[in-house]
Structure 1
């Protein structure tokens, strides 16, 4: 008599988690199975989307800046100014120091779209070449102010105590010096016609503003938990300041320095207008505005173009600073 066939074995489940809970095992097993499936699906998602990492403050700021038309317009204008400052011969072929008295205060003519000044110099060439001095003063002064102010303010805010009191009182002394009066006194004894005396004067009187901003940002940053944890792990003061505090306190300094750059360009033009800033033969918007002020009724074009270029440059840097401030401040988004 043949043996009866063995009972059919159930086919293995397609999902290995189906074998965990038998039929009718209850809510606890179903919950465990659901959680396992969720974890497995999340693992697959994380493995397939490794690039979806939390963005930093700087990546978020750059993403906001790229969408801001104010930033795009101001950055394009500033890039154009930097390019013509480095290579003015790209858009002008006339020597700004070549003058013809026979064309004094003459209007526009072919090849000279802005006319001529009192000495017969090409206003267009002088306007283009004048960007070099203004942009150089603005960028160099801003870098010097940012470095000196950040160093003094960062040390004062991080160490506190007598160091904070000493450095803060030193900043208050320089804050009390009027900028224009100080420029008239300090630069009147300088005989150099280069941009460096003006840059040094701006750095000398401009660093206290950045120092106050940096001091407040460092005091706020050093109270965070990650700084206290680094201190508890035995990190040195230099390591905490450079690796943990400074990167998280630099954003306000960048915003203020960007806005101040346009202010420094306007300050250089003001000092040059008063005769104590840049001096001939240096080509400067402030010098041209000073020379054109007395002839504004007879030849307004002498004043219009350099003053317009100065105003547009200052406006571009202020707009850039506002856009950077909005991007770096999460509260303004």
Structure 2
């Protein structure tokens, strides 16, 4: 009888299926999505934190420049030729430019138009390129062929040269200089978004969830908006974030060449253009807006790189 195994003693009450003492309980909730994982990854990236802080400061500066003008309360449009090219002083910490305008005040207020052009152009290119790219990638066939050939025509045009031609041709018309720059950059900027969206849709439309939606009788609009768009949006957001900095730099280039933003509007590119002729005599009116411009473009490029790494599982 001694060889007969004794039954195992029963578990203590309230311990069946529980975790060992001291183990944290798992939170119940929705399964993690691509965007949730990306956000958790971004919060651990110093490059994302730094770029986000810089962009936040620039956006606040553009929206409420008066918050920063307390340091130097000069009016950006009040100029005194008698004080042209004066160096920094207690009342004008960045000095004055070639026309006697306060360089600090113009640098602060110039952020509004530069960011406005960059953001508006980015949104416009996302809408145009995203919609046409979605249609071309989803329907394929002749629609895709014709759209791709039209896009290649725009790709063959050098961006700055084409924008320079458009801005110079319609300059002086009913459109403001800011609106004209936005249109010129949008006309030549949407093909990149088109290609990214088209490629993402072609990859996603053959997935099982899209095939199942078609089998259940879902219409084209519902499939594109509810199933394809969420899965194709990530690469478009990445390229749009990077392009935003490029559009701001392109506006500065057009203004430097004399076909961009014009007075009485203010932008960093216009300030650089106005200060280039007397750079050796007074370098500060060119250096300060150039620094603001460089920091802004760099911040958006850093943000785009961080978002790309977070949204691409292969790069984690």
Unaligned residue ranges in structure 1 (runs of 5+): 1-22
> Is 1:106 equivalent to 2:86 in the alignment?
yes
1:166 is displaced (CA, Å) by 1.1
The alignment status of 1:303 with 2:286, answered yes or no, reads yes
Match of 2:107 among 100, 110, 127: 127
**In 1, Cα distance between the equivalents of 2:18 and 2:237?**
40
How far did residue 332 of structure 1 move?
Answer: 0.7
Match of 1:288 among 267, 271, 280: 271
Q: Which moved more, 1:189-198 or 1:145-154?
A: 189-198
Q: Post-superposition, which runs of at least 4 consecutive aligned residues in structure 1 deviate over 3 A?
A: 23-26
Structure 1 contact 183–276 (Cα < 8 Å) conserved: no
Q: Say yes or no: does 1:55 pair with 2:32.
A: yes
Q: Deviations over 1:92-146 (max 9, x none)?
A: 1221110111111010111211000111000000111110110000000000001
Displacement after TM superposition at 1:201 (Å):
1.2
Question: Which of residues 249, 262, 281 is equivalent to 1:279?
Answer: 262
Deviation string 1:200-247 (CA, Å, 9 cap, x unpaired) is 111111100000000000001111111111111221111111111110
The counterpart of 2:126, out of the listed 146, 149, 153, is 146
Q: Which has the larger radius of gyration?
A: 1
Aligned to 2:161: 181
Partners of 1:228 and 1:179 lie apart in 2 by 39
Per-residue deviation, residues 9-68 of structure 1 (Å, max 9, x unmatched): xxxxxxxxxxxxxx9699xxx9xx99xx99x6279xxxx745254210000001011111
Deviation sequence 1:221-274 (CA, Å, 0-9, x none): 111111111111221111111111110010000000000000000000000000
Q: How many residues align?
A: 300
Q: Of the candidates 74, 98, 109, which is equivalent to residue 94 of structure 1?
A: 74
- TM-score of the pair, normalised by structure 1: 0.85
1:80 to 52, 57, 75: 57
User: What is the deviation of 1:183?
Assistant: 2.0
2:297 corresponding residue in structure 1: 314
* 1:161 to 2:137 alignment: no
**Structure 2 contact 163–188 (Cα < 8 Å) conserved:** no
Q: Deviations over 1:266-288 (max 9, x none)?
A: 00000000011111111111111
| Residues in 1 aligned to 2:256 and 2:206: alpha-carbon distance in whole angstroms | 47
- 1:196 has 2:173 as partner: no
In structure 2, which of residues 221, 227, 235 is the aligned counterpart of residue 244 of structure 1?
227
SS of residue matched to 1:299: coil
The two structures, once aligned, show a CA RMSD in angstroms of 2.2
